[in-house]
Amino acid sequence: MASNSEELIQGVRKQFGELLDFVTGEKAQTATADHIERGLFKLLVVLGASLLRLFFVMRSKACSRQTLRLAEDKKLPYHRDTLRRYYSIFGIIPYERPYFYTKGLGGRAPLDEALSLGADGYSDLLRETSGYLDIYTVYGKTADVFERLLGLTLSTRSLQQNMLDDSVDVAAYYAQKTPPIAVPAATILVGQADGKGVPIILEEEDTAEPEPVRLGKGQKSGGTRKKPS
């Protein structure tokens, strides 16, 4: 697992070259559109994971290791770099960041706060996407979608917990929203229908024998019809 930013940059450039070769190389000349699309999607996910990890490594490298000064003249010295896992839409991204600790005061990781990372390590985009799917289907189906499309394995338990954690903020979100502007006056159009059916008048069945188109010799038109029984 490379942690040096220069090694990661070289790896990203190699992956990008593989992307170009995949769509312009000799095999691409006889490939189907479906093969290229599916393969390109997988390669882009891998490239996204590498770029995201490079971002974390660069931020960790730039983060200060100087002693943290807290309130009331308390201090937290740099302890060591500790491993952190970030659950992203591209997969699990491991990286190390500076950790400050002293006995009696506990520890802190300033980079986590600067990046607005939650304690569970799940990205906002991942939580947002899974939450959207969870509304319309069961947790197991949501996990299947992530594994099928992104190759990302998520447990139904973690999906349930994320939904539960996010639901706590719903009331606070609507409380801080600006209420809609009330319209003082408006024109209302009202339509009314009685909803009653229209009675159908059935004609009595005519049982009279039809007159022939041409009268025979000795026949008269306008014969008496039989009355209906």
For the stretch 144-202, pLDDT in tens is 888 888 888 888 888 888 777 777 777 777 778 787 777 777 667 777 776 666 666 66
- Token code pair at residue 59: 């931020």
pTM: 0.68
Query: Phi/psi class of residue 116: alpha, beta or left (left: φ > 0; alpha: ψ in -120 to 50)?
Result: left
d(CA 218, CA 139): 90
3-state secondary structure of 85: strand
3-state secondary structure of 91: strand
Q: Could you tell me if 132 and 162 are in contact, meaning their C-beta atoms sit under 8 angstroms apart?
A: no
Model pLDDT for residues 71-114, shown as the tens digit of each residue: 878 889 999 999 999 999 999 999 999 999 999 888 999 999 99
